[in-house]
Amino acid sequence: MTFKKENYTTTLQKAKVMIPGFKQAFTRFEERMVLDQCSKSMFTNYGRNLAHLALHFGRVPHEVTVEEINAYLYRLTVHDKYSMSFFKQTVFGLRYWFRLFDMDDKALQMPVIKKTETLPTVLSKEECKSLFAAPRSLKHRFLLAFAYAGGFRMNELRMLKIVDVDLQRKQVHIRQGKGKKDRYVILADLIVDRFENYLNEVKPQIYLFEGLTPGQPMGERSIQYVINEALQKTAIKKNVSMHTLRHSFATHLLEDGVDIYSIQRLLGHADIRTTIVYLHVAQVLPKVAHSPLDSLYNYKK
Spatial strand order in the sheet of 183-186? 165-166, 171-174, 183-186
Q: Is 278 a catalytic residue?
A: yes
Which among 32, 59, 161, 243 is annotated as catalytic?
243
Q: Is 16 a catalytic residue?
A: no
Which among 141, 246, 247, 252 is annotated as catalytic?
246
Q: Is 243 a catalytic residue?
A: yes
Per the CB < 8 A criterion, the answer to whether 74 and 90 are in contact is no
Q: Is 175 a catalytic residue?
A: no
Which among 173, 178, 184, 194 is annotated as catalytic?
178
Nearest Cα to 51, choosing from 61, 65, 64, 66? 61
Nearest Cα to 162, choosing from 212, 222, 202, 221? 202
Which among 269, 280, 290, 299 is annotated as catalytic?
269
Return the exposure string of 129-159: e unless at least 16 CB atoms fall within 10 Å of the residue's CB, then b. Answer: ebbbebbeeebbbbbbbbbbbbbbbbbbbbb
Q: Where would I find the beta strands (DSSP E) of the chain?
A: 165-166, 171-174, 183-186
Which among 46, 96, 148, 278 is annotated as catalytic?
278
Q: Is 153 a catalytic residue?
A: yes
Which among 48, 140, 153, 247 is annotated as catalytic?
153
Q: What are the Cα distances from residue 155, in Å, to 56, 89, 158, 188? A: 31, 19, 5, 20
Nearest Cα to 152, choosing from 184, 191, 117, 199? 184
Distance, CA of 51 to CA of 45 (rounded, Å) = 10
User: Which residues are marked as active site?
Assistant: 153, 178, 243, 246, 269, 278
